[in-house]
Amino acid sequence: MIDELLANPVTLLCVVISLAVVVAGLVFAVTSPRMLLLVIKNLRRNLGRTTITCLATMVLVAMVTMIWTVIYTLDMVTTEKSKDFKLVVTERWQIPSQMPPTHADYLNPESPKFLPELKGMIGPNDFMTWSFYGGTLDPTKFTRENLLFMFVMNPKHIRSMMDDLDTLDPALVKKLGDTRTGVLLGPERLAMINKKVGERIKVTSLNYKGINLELEIVGELPAGRYDQSAIMSDAYFNDELDKYARTTGQKHPLDNKRLNLIWLRVRDRETFSKVGEIVENSPYFADRPVKVETASSGIGTWLAPYADILWRVRWIVVPAIIVSMTLVVANAISISVRERMTEMAVLKVLGYRPGTILKLVLGESMLVGGLAGLGSAVLTYALVNFAMGGIKFPIAFFPAFFVPAWGIAWGFALGAGTSAVGSFLPAWSARSVKVSEVFSKVT
Amino acid sequence: MIVLFGFLLILGAILVVVVVASVLASVFAIGVAVAPVRKVPFRYNLRNIQVRWKTSLVAALAFTIVVCLLTNLLGFVKGMDRLTEGSGVPGNVLVLADGATDEAWSNLPTSSVLQLPRDLQLLIEKNKDGEFLATQEVYVIGTHVIPNAPAGGPKRRFVQMRGLDNVRIAAELHKIELESGEWFSSSGVREIARDHNGSTVKDTALEVVLGSGLAKTFGQDVGKAALEPGDVIEMGRRYWYITGVMKPNNSAFGSEIWTKDRTVQELFGRQNSYNSYVVRTKDEATAKQASKLLKEFRSERAMNAQSELEYYSNLTRTNQQFYIAFMVIAVVVAIGGVLGVMNTMFAAINQRKKDIGVLRILGYRRWQILASILFESLVIALVGGILGLILGYLITDGVSATSIVSSGQGGGKSIVFRAVVDATVLLTGLLFTFVMGAVGGLIPSLSAMRLKPLESLK
Amino acid sequence: MTGQPIVRVRGIHKYFTRGEEKIDVLKNLSLEVPEGEFLGLMGPSGSGKTTLLNLIAGLDRPSAGEVWIRDQLISKMSEADLASWRTRNIGFIFQFYHLLPVLTAYENVELPLLLLPLSSAERQKQVLTALDLVSLTNRMHHRPGQLSGGQQQRVGIARAVVTDPTLIVADEPTGDLDAHSAEEILNLLCELQKSLRKTILLVTHDPRAAERAQRIVHLDKGRLVEGDTSTAIRPAPVGAAAGMQETGIKQQGT
């Protein structure tokens, strides 16, 4: 959590701003509680305007929080970590990566063919392979509802290697391992195909022509990131490919291309370089050369086509929303300052110092902005993560995005920050109001 | 969940009612404004905007930002749409292996038009030399290690490579012309001399033609505006000699490398296999008919044939996804803008209660007051909105960008395209402005309308 | 005095409610004003004189009783009908002028005309005539803020007469002016009454203003106290049939 914070300057800035605003607010409240009361009374005076400004802030903060959630998540996955790297081994020159199953043996620490040079660098829990199997539940209808896309892997690697699945119920993993034809489905996928745990499904393959499967749903994957996913055991898949060779007399065209990704985990950057060098230069992979990259760099390659759009969102959309938020606040505050110029002048006559008047106006706007921002971010967090099942915006292979807890700091900082900036000019004009001028206008 | 859904439904319904009411009221207000009988003191409203120019300007600026943003985003999607539409040639039939929804996943044997039944052959057009307009193409997505990759950015990129048996026919079929240089030779290779540790060594390079977009992308790697014929790039431990660069023609092919089919097959282990066949028929109707025949003519191994226009229109799913996302963003930001203009108008009315009272006493009716205030907010909205449209057009139209088009998860083509701000984008922006002004003005106008003349004078 | 009185108020009653309390402002009040009369309404604050004026001008409706202007029963008109009736029949002059600050004198005077089916040439003619009447044609492109109080009230008067209304109602028109300007305004009103034969209802508590009226009625606690305090009734100048359009009024001394 703290690592994430330090790795992301925007979030760090938001947290610092939030803390500063809270501290300043507390100091203000403790040193001059009367002033705070005055601020609150002023806000209650034009409830309509306060509500409108509040709503505008909330709507815009919610939008920024959601957009930034996507950007933040993509930033996080493409930022290189400093330790516990996950590495992806894929076919070197082309997409989709299709490797022979023997490739995995050289990299599997539990296999007798494991490359001796790699000993000590990769432990038994640091290895996983993926094959992708896509099929339809109804060969006559290729609708989205009928499609099933599965990770084919060894169940015992789920908890050790799959992101966010380290807390998956071990009993479920055991059940998948024990049931040869078992499959784990994400809750949304399950609802979409209208099946329950315990039921069986027949899948007609799309990418492995002729390899049709009969699966038993043994359990549910946790909601969230794996809502739409499916995981099946590689034992059944491999058996079916062998059976195909036996019954038809020839190997399946994809028999020797059945492995799509090999995952490894290493301690640090140094080990990554070593492993990379060993694997990329090893003669064992010469027939189908492979490349070794960190997960974040691999994902970065996939996201490259989106770079322009993401750039636009980051540098045009988000700033534009923030600027329009500032304008809305500036407008509202300047209106209420103008309406109350006489009052400000009266306060000055009573001996209020310009600085105090500045504080009053700023406090008024930041109280509304900060609270609205905070409320909006909390609401967005709750709605997106618990009611909507994430922001459904499929990019590359991210099906949905979840608001991080830090998102609440973004909202608060954004609300308070734009209010401070937007109300500064009006507050300054209130501060520098000339008593004589104001009273001469009142006839 | 159901509660949330119901809540959203009610919210949506309210929103729709408000929007419809506002738009109707605004159309009415504008109708009154331009009608020959002047019944509403519009000059009074224009004067007020002038007098309160600071507040009006701030409110208008919010509109400028929203509309500019919308124009920019829609122009981006429009550009992607144009490109996908422009990639398919009417009359072309694209044949993939059965089950393959994307070119990259398809696998077909070597074939020839002559193997087709006669009636099918007759549907296929010939060029002026009497050759069938038909190609077999091998299509791979390769990885290219980016030379001088900037730190922190991706180190590799995917490049789309198309191997062709006869590039001249393929060019005619896909309506691709060369901007400079020439097509690769029939051997597909040539001798080059290159620099190696200070001494010149001879090497064999594979000949390629680059899409215009890709020529630019590759050019940027080495600090040039674009690569030109005669340039050599290194990819997959081989040297690639550029014989030509395609004319920019707003199609997905502009982001591809074209080369000899054998080159791709050997390099990527695809001996004797192709990804797609493309044939030209007379027109789109014939293409549909031919697709049907092609699907059925061999029972043992069906093929998936479709007209190229259909294939590319399926590739717009990403475009739609972005379109929807951008629209949602625009609408939400617009709500912010609307609330801003609402504040302005409420304040304006508050300050002018007396004026409104006087107007009512002089005999102006409620609807005339409503129309007048609504008109004022529409003017603010339109001034800001039109400024936003102009700005949006200036910063968007013709700007080159990269993106990806796909039919859903998996596959997809990365493309280089130009953003387009056309009449539909501008009209959408204008409509947006209008609705925003109408909604932002309606509620304050209603409150102005309900002022009691005698009380407002006190 | 020929024909029917132009204003006939019959047994009107008006009360307001403030919370639980019911406040009677006018109690069974009747009043008639002959055409062409300059009537002064006097009374202490809270006597109900402004309320009576508002009822006659069609700004408010009585709780009971009838208000007839010419042959129209305005106390029964709908609010919308009242609005258009006001445009044609009533000219208002306010204590605080109530000019729209963003419009020029010319545009302020033009405001009520926009509601009538007139061509712009006709409008211009009427506005200029009205401004000429109050001798402000030279300042017609100034905004209210650039005019003195007296000048602003003259613009107010021009706005009141520009539609050639049946009745001019003035609520404390001199209340916010210095003695000199007040004098000017009162002269102007007298002249309107004399030369244009306008019926004028003037609400005031300024005795100097009341002096100019032909007849004065006193209101006290919602009832008329007529007769004893009224000044001598001066006969209305009969026969000076003068429509606005025909007049090119010159300022006459009193």
Cα C181 to Cα B257, C133, C140, C170: the distances in Å are 90, 16, 18, 16
Tell me the average pLDDT across C146-155. Answer: 92
* Nearest-by-CA chain C residue for B458: C96
**pLDDT single digits (tens) A389-429:** 888 887 877 878 999 999 999 999 999 999 999 999 999 98
Of A288, A314, A345, which residue constitutes the final position of a domain? A288
Nearest to B339 among A52, A291, A301 (CB): A52
Contact state of A387 with B4 under an 8 Å Cβ cutoff:
yes
One domain for residues A250 and A145: yes
pLDDT value at A82 more than 80: no
Q: Do A53 and B339 touch (CB under 8 A)?
A: yes
Residue A84 lies in a domain: no
Tokens coding B39: 């019944």
CA distance A385 to A317: 23
Residues of B in contact with C59 (CB under 8 A): 361, 453-454
Question: Considering only residues 166 to 185 of chain B, which have any Cβ-Cβ distance to chain C shorter than 8 Å?
Answer: none
Return d(Cα A314, Cα A306) in angstroms, integer.
Answer: 12
Residue of B355, B363, B366 lying closest to C86 (CB–CB)? B363
Q: Tell me, what's the pLDDT at C235?
A: 44
> Which two three-digit tokens encode residue A365?
């706007």
User: What 8-state DSSP symbol labels residue B126?
Assistant: B
B355 — contact with chain C (CB < 8 Å)?
yes
User: In this structure, is residue A89 part of a structural domain?
Assistant: no
Q: Is the pLDDT of residue C59 over 50?
A: yes
Q: Are residues A142 and A192 part of one domain? A: yes
**B and C: number of Cβ contacts within 8 A:** 62
Please check whether residue A426 is in contact with residue A331, taking contact to mean a CB–CB distance below 8 angstroms: no
CB spacing of C98 vs B357 below 8 angstroms: yes
CA distances from A141 to B99, B104, B306 (A): 12, 22, 17
Looking at the fold, whether A68 and A191 belong to one and the same domain comes out as: no
> Which pLDDT value is given to residue A63?
93
- Flag whether A163 is in a domain: yes
Would you state the pLDDT for residue C48?
86
Cβ–Cβ < 8 Å for A108, A327: no
pLDDT tens sequence across A1-10: 677 777 788 8
Residue A65 in this model has a pLDDT that exceeds 90:
yes
Q: State how far the alpha carbon of A197 is from the alpha carbons of A182, A185, A223, C44, in Å.
A: 10, 9, 15, 89
Interchain CB distance below 8 Å, C92 and B359 = no
- Residue whose C-alpha is closest to residue A79's, from A299, A337, A408, A244: A299
Query: Residue C232 pLDDT > 60, yes or no?
Result: no
Locate the domains of chain B by residue range: 20-85+317-457, 92-280
Q: Give residues with Cβ within 8 angstroms of B391, minimum separation 6.
A: B64, B68, B71
Closest CA to A46 of A418, A330, A332: A332
Assigned CATH class of C7-229 = alpha beta
For residues A194 and A62, membership in a common domain is answered with no
- Cα separation, A373 vs A361, in Å, equals 18
B48 interaction partners in chain C (CB closer than 8 Å): 102
Category of C124 on φ-ψ map: left (φ > 0), alpha (ψ -120 to 50) or beta: alpha
Chains that touch A (3 or more CB pairs under 8 A): B
Q: What is the pLDDT of residue A417?
A: 95
- β-partners of residue B178 are B246
Range of the domain at A122: 94-288
What token pair was written down for A411?
A: 């909202």
C111–B41: do the CB atoms touch at under 8 Å?
Answer: yes
Query: For residues C100 and C87, is the Cβ–Cβ distance under 8 A?
Result: no
Q: How far is C43 from chain B (nearest CA, A)?
A: 20
Contact B457 C94 (CB under 8 A): yes
pLDDT tens-place string over residues A83-101:
778 899 998 888 788 899 9
CB pair distance less than 8 Å for C115 and B354:
no
Pairing type for strands B178-181 and B199-210 reads unpaired
Residues A128 and A225 in one domain: yes
Dump the DSSP string for C33-74: E-TT-EEEEE--TTSSHHHHHHHHTTSS--SEEEEEETTEEG
A318 touches chain B (CB under 8 A): no
Nearest to B454 among C59, C86, C103 (CB): C59
**Which residues of B are less than 8 Å from A307 in CB distance?**
402
Q: How many domains would you assign to chain A? A: 2
By C-alpha distance, the chain B residue nearest C159 is B362
Contact assignment for A56 to B339 by CB distance below 8 Å: yes
Q: State the best of B409, B436, B442 to mutate against chain A, taking most chain A CBs within 10 Å.
A: B409
Q: Which of A253, A288, A323 is the last residue of a domain?
A: A288
Cβ neighbours of B414 in A, within 8 Å: 304-305
CA distance B30 to A116: 82
**Short-list B330, B249, B251, B315, CA closest to B72:** B330
Q: Does residue A419 contact residue A329 with C-beta atoms inside 8 Å?
A: yes
Q: Give the CA distances from residue B93 to residues B131, B134, B160, B294, C187, in Å, rounded to whole numbers and listed in that order.
A: 17, 9, 21, 9, 95
Helix axes A47-78, A354-382, angle to 10 degrees: 60
- Asked if residue B374 lies in contact with residue B27, where contact means CB atoms within 8 angstroms, the answer is no
pLDDT at A354 over 80: yes
Confirm if B58 and A331 have CB atoms less than 8 A apart. Answer: yes
pLDDT, residue A51, reads 92
Cα(A233)–Cα(B309) distance, integer angstroms: 40
In 3D space, the residue among B439, B373, B437, B446 whose CA is nearest the CA of residue B46 turns out to be: B373
Which chain A residues are within 8 Å of B65, Cβ to Cβ?
A: 320, 323-324, 327
Q: Which of A163-177, C76-90, C146-160 has the lowest mean pLDDT?
A: C76-90
Segment C138-155 mean pLDDT = 92
- pLDDT per position as a tens digit, B46-92: 888 888 888 888 889 888 998 999 999 999 989 988 888 888 889 99
DSSP sequence for A60-97: HHHHHHHHHHHHHHHHHHHSPPSEEEEEEEEESSEES-
Best residue in C50, C52, C96, C98 to probe B by mutation, most B CBs within 10 Å? C98
Are the CB atoms for C55 and C61 separated by under 8 Å? yes
**DSSP assignment, residue C154?**
H
Amino acid code (one letter) for B9: L
B243: Cβ contacts below 8 Å, ≥ 6 apart:
B181, B182, B183, B184, B185, B207, B208, B209, B229
Q: What is the distance between the alpha carbons of residues B78 and A112, in angstroms, rounded to a whole number?
A: 56
Residues from chain C contacting residue B365 (CB–CB below 8 Å): 80, 83-84
Position A153 scores a pLDDT of 95
- Give the residue among C1, C65, C37 at the shortest CA–CA distance from C166: C37
Q: How many residues can be counted in chain C?
A: 254
Within 13 Å, how many C-alpha atoms sit on residue A328's CB side? 38
For residue A62, pLDDT over 90 is answered with: yes
Do A259 and A379 have their domain in common? no
pLDDT of C19 reads 77
Asked if B268 and A93 come within 8 Å (Cβ–Cβ), the reply is yes
Residue in B47, B51, B363 nearest the CB of C84: B363
- C chain contacts of residue B366, beta-carbon cutoff 8 Å: 80
For residue C16, the surrounding DSSP H or E stretch is strand C7-18
The helix/strand/coil state of A19 is helix
Burial classification of residue A14, based on how many CB atoms lie within 10 Å of its CB (0-12 exposed, 13-18 middle, 19 or more buried): buried
Angle, in degrees to the nearest 10, between helices A407-431 and A9-31: 50
**Touching subunits for chain B (3+ Cβ pairs under 8 A):** A, C
Q: Are residues A74 and A98 both part of a single domain?
A: no
Q: Name the nearest CA neighbour of C95 among B319, B354, A276, A341.
A: B354
- Cβ neighbours of B364 in C, within 8 Å: 83, 115
List the pLDDT tens digit at each of the 458 positions of chain B: 566 677 777 878 888 888 888 888 888 777 776 665 556 778 888 888 888 888 888 889 888 998 999 999 999 989 988 888 888 889 999 988 876 777 877 878 888 888 887 888 888 888 888 889 999 999 988 888 888 887 777 788 888 899 998 999 999 999 999 999 999 998 888 888 887 788 888 888 999 999 988 898 888 888 888 999 999 988 877 889 999 999 887 888 888 999 999 988 888 877 778 989 999 999 889 998 888 888 777 655 567 888 988 888 888 777 788 888 888 888 888 888 888 888 888 888 888 888 899 988 888 888 888 888 888 989 999 999 999 999 999 999 988 888 888 765 455 778 888 899 999 999 999 998 999 889 888 889 998 988 888 888 77
Q: Out of B140, B236, B332, name the one closest to residue A63 (CB).
A: B332
Interface test with B, best of C74, C102, C152, C166 (most B CBs within 10 A): C102
Verify whether the Cβ–Cβ distance C114 to B360 is below 8 Å. no
- Tokens coding B418: 């130009």
Which of B199-213, B301-315, C27-41, C137-151 shows the lowest per-residue confidence on average (mean pLDDT)? B301-315
What is the distance in angstroms between the Cα of B431 and the nearest Cα belonging to chain A?
A: 19
For the four alpha carbons of B311, B317, B322 and B327, in that order, the dihedral sign comes to positive
- Beta-carbon count within 10 A of A232 CB: 26
Parallel, antiparallel or unpaired: strands A200-205 and A127-136: antiparallel
Q: What is the average pLDDT across C196-215? A: 87
The structural domains of chain C, with segments of one domain joined by +, span 7-229
Given this model, what pLDDT does residue A142 score? 64
Same-domain pairing of A136 and A58: no
CB B248 within 8 A of CB B288: no
Per-residue pLDDT averaged across C56-65, rounded?
89
Strands C64-69, C7-18: pairing is antiparallel
Distance CA A288, CA B264 (A): 15
Q: Are A133 and A181 in contact (CB under 8 A)?
A: no
pLDDT tens string B267-279 = 887 777 898 999 9
C111 close to B (CB below 8 A): yes
Residues of A in contact with B141 (CB under 8 A): 94-96
CB contact under 8 Å between B47 and C103, yes or no, is yes
Side chain identity, residue B111: S
Q: In 10 A of CB C72, how many CB atoms?
A: 15
